[in-house]
Structure 1
Amino acid sequence: MVRSTLVVAVLMLVLPTTAHRNNDDIFAIEGGDSESRDLQWELENWLGGGSGGLGLSHSEARSWATKEWWYMETCGASISYLKQLYSVLTHRFAIPYTRNEAIGLMFAYATKQLDPDQLYAMYHVLAGSHLGGQKARARAAELLEQGASPTELSNLYRVLKTWLPDREAQDTAMEAAAAGCEAEKFARTRVVSEAVTASFDNQAFRYAEDGKYYTASEFKDYFGSNWMAKWRASPVAQKVARDGRAYSVSQFHDYFKGGWLSYWHEARWATQRRIAEDGRIYTMAEYVSYFGSQWQQKWAKAPVALCKECTAASHP
């Protein structure tokens, strides 16, 4: 069925000038209002002086809402989720962010689909380290973006401090967690690279420069002595669970506990997508095709869109 000129015209008015949807992401608008416009209104109301709002001026609230609503919708961020993120940043951290700092970070973290509970858990582990509370806040988000598990970070530190000085144990634990290392495997080998290849039943995959996913063992075989650097720089592969959300292997391990491996095997690979600088949504394969050798760096910086198979973001 051909869309009417009126619907297309209205659609273009709704989308911000800096962001446009791909053809398969166009949504229908009925009755003059859309769910997306509802999100913009909800954002503006919450950020401003509405009931339980954050108290920004009308112009400030409207500016933030106008700028961010499309990205929030595309990244799968609801008002409830944003409130959880904001609460972590302003109330649960020992050194809380100010309101304005927290609002900016809240939107930035939402574009990376960071889980509020995981963010706090990671911060909690790091806050007791040599980093201190202030640096731990920023490092927590960075490690989550790299695919680190707060559970494994805590376990790794517990193992490492039995034979390494405290500061060295903490730094090594962060390095190992970012590489997707299981503490149990590390305890056996005491070598990060060997432990990574054995972690999570060899089911951890990352996307190499050619845009295809490989296990740590395959990275090691192909890249030789430089494989760990390549592995750390590569995006983490995800699968879509029964709940319609995309998770990494470490998240399957954390969320599904003892039965995680069977859930992992039955899950479909996620076709991950991100929002490029032109405001359009592209798959990883399209990033590889367009950006060539720079695709991994571009991908790491880009906001996360819902995967093609996903019905919701990976956070609550």
Structure 2
Amino acid sequence: MAPSTFAVAVLMLMLPASARRNKDDSFAMEALISEARDPEKDLEFWLTTCGASLGYLQRLHGVLSNTMNFDKGAALPLAFEYAKKQLDPDQLIAMYTVLRDKLRLSVEEARSRAPELLEKDASPTQLSDLYTEMTAGASWLSWLVKSPKEAQGLAMESAAAGCEPDKFKSAYQANHDKKTAAEEAIRASFDMQAYRYADDGRYYTASQFADYYKSGGDWVAKWTNSPVAQKVAEDGKAYSASQFKEFFKEGWLSKWNAATWATQRRITEPDGGVYTLDEFASYFFPESEWKWAESPVALCKECTAASHA
């Protein structure tokens, strides 16, 4: 089936000007459309329901094809996939670069880990600083990490759990027990204002979350894999506590306290229904956490724009 003129135009827009003048590239992109999926349908769905612009999709595709060096066959479907999760192109570049250049992961692993960590609300800056702390050669770290490989794993694990570097350092200096130190560091980070959702659809601080799951095993693992609560800033976009701190710097806490909670929503496929996290917890329990993580992100109820727009 021949691709529509609209779909071809969209994909050609993603290419740099020099490539658009190349007839071979034009034919290659048309072939990609006919082979893989329906870009026109994907684009319409994403623009109307998820709340951003064609420019965002173009930037995301550029990051995947130019910076992360995916070939054309892989970059296009990944662009739509990452767009449905509202991954920020600048953050994707930053995370990939930290993983590849600072942590020295292979290109393949850095490609895989970057979107995974961003979905867990990990910050590229914090990941870099955590790894620096772990590889600084300080005597207090000798019991904790024995090799660069261990430091890589612990840095990514700590960043995904929302652990600030200074809280990590103080907790691990005071406790030579990894489990205790990790729990204390997570509880103390971001002025104890980081919230994540439990399986009841409600948000909790790390301390409250630990109490909620006190008889349910490893609460840190559940915390790391749970949805991150957000608030709506003055620009009408939803951010987590860590993002408030990164974007607003010194005055972040007062802005966070003044902001309203974001009612996050996701889209069920293939029917296209839009549900809040609380509704997911009610309708899809006990699979609600898995379904939420796999579902495309919609604008929050209170938002006027997507955070990456």
Fold equivalence (TM over 0.5): yes
- Residue 42 of structure 1 contacts residue 79 of structure 1 at CA under 8 Å; is this kept in 2? no
- Residue 267 of structure 2 contacts residue 298 of structure 2 at CA under 8 Å; is this kept in 1? yes
Code of the aligned partner of 2:206? A
- Secondary structure (helix, strand or coil) at the match of 2:188 reads helix
- Secondary structure (helix, strand or coil) at the match of 1:282 reads strand
Q: In the alignment, does 2:161 pair up with 1:161?
A: no
Distance in 1 of aligned mates of 2:197 and 2:162: 14
Choose the corresponding residue for 2:64, options 85, 89, 94: 89
Q: For the structure 1 residues 42 and 113, does the alpha-carbon distance in structure 2 shift closer, same or farther, using more than 3 Å as the test?
A: farther
2:220 is aligned to: 228
Which ranges in structure 2 are unaligned for 5 or more consecutive residues? Answer: 173-180
Q: For the structure 1 residues 155 and 42, does the alpha-carbon distance in structure 2 shift closer, same or farther, using more than 3 Å as the test?
A: farther
Distance in 1 of aligned mates of 2:170 and 2:307: 32
2:289 is aligned to: 296
Q: TM-score, normalised by structure 1?
A: 0.82
Report the Cα offset of residue 226 of structure 1. 2.2
Choose the corresponding residue for 2:43, options 58, 61, 68: 68
- Residue 179 of structure 1 contacts residue 232 of structure 1 at CA under 8 Å; is this kept in 2? yes
Q: Residue by residue, what CA displacement relative to the aligned partner does 1:230-286 show, whole Å, maximum 9, x if unpaired?
A: 212211000010001001111111111111111111111000000012221111111
- Residue 14 of structure 2 contacts residue 61 of structure 2 at CA under 8 Å; is this kept in 1? no
Report the Cα offset of residue 65 of structure 1. 1.1
1:25 is aligned to: none
Q: In the alignment, does 2:95 pair up with 1:122?
A: yes
Distance in 1 of aligned mates of 2:94 and 2:83: 17
- Residue 266 of structure 2 contacts residue 298 of structure 2 at CA under 8 Å; is this kept in 1? yes
Code of the aligned partner of 1:208? A
Q: For the structure 1 residues 280 and 92, does the alpha-carbon distance in structure 2 shift closer, same or farther, using more than 3 Å as the test?
A: same
Work out the number of aligned pairs and report it. 275
- Secondary structure (helix, strand or coil) at the match of 2:213 reads helix
Q: How does 1:1-316 map to 2 (within 5 A)?
A: 44-48=8-12, 52=17, 55=26, 56-57=29-30, 60=33, 63-93=38-68, 96-128=69-101, 129-162=103-136, 163=141, 164=145, 165-190=147-172, 191-224=181-214, 226-277=218-269, 278-316=271-309
Code of the aligned partner of 1:106? A
Which ranges in structure 1 are unaligned for 5 or more consecutive residues? Answer: 1-39
Distance in 1 of aligned mates of 2:13 and 2:272: 30
Report the Cα offset of residue 50 of structure 1. 9.5
Q: For the structure 1 residues 49 and 72, does the alpha-carbon distance in structure 2 shift closer, same or farther, using more than 3 Å as the test?
A: closer
Q: For the structure 1 residues 310 and 49, does the alpha-carbon distance in structure 2 shift closer, same or farther, using more than 3 Å as the test?
A: closer
Distance in 1 of aligned mates of 2:171 and 2:58: 42
Distance in 2 of aligned mates of 1:183 and 1:42: 47
- Secondary structure (helix, strand or coil) at the match of 2:85 reads coil
Q: Residue by residue, what CA displacement relative to the aligned partner does 1:2-25 show, whole Å, maximum 9, x if unpaired?
A: xxxxxxxxxxxxxxxxxxxxxxxx
Distance in 2 of aligned mates of 1:118 and 1:48: 24
Code of the aligned partner of 1:307? C
Q: For the structure 1 residues 47 and 265, does the alpha-carbon distance in structure 2 shift closer, same or farther, using more than 3 Å as the test?
A: same
Q: TM-score, normalised by structure 2?
A: 0.83
Distance in 1 of aligned mates of 2:219 and 2:50: 31
- Secondary structure (helix, strand or coil) at the match of 2:286 reads helix
Report the Cα offset of residue 223 of structure 1. 1.9
Q: Residue by residue, what CA displacement relative to the aligned partner does 1:57-91 show, whole Å, maximum 9, x if unpaired?
A: 28927931134321333112311111111111111
* Identical aligned residues as a percent: 52
Distance in 2 of aligned mates of 1:59 and 1:220: 47
Distance in 1 of aligned mates of 2:185 and 2:212: 18
Distance in 1 of aligned mates of 2:201 and 2:188: 23
Code of the aligned partner of 1:73? T
Distance in 2 of aligned mates of 1:41 and 1:106: 20
2:177 is aligned to: none
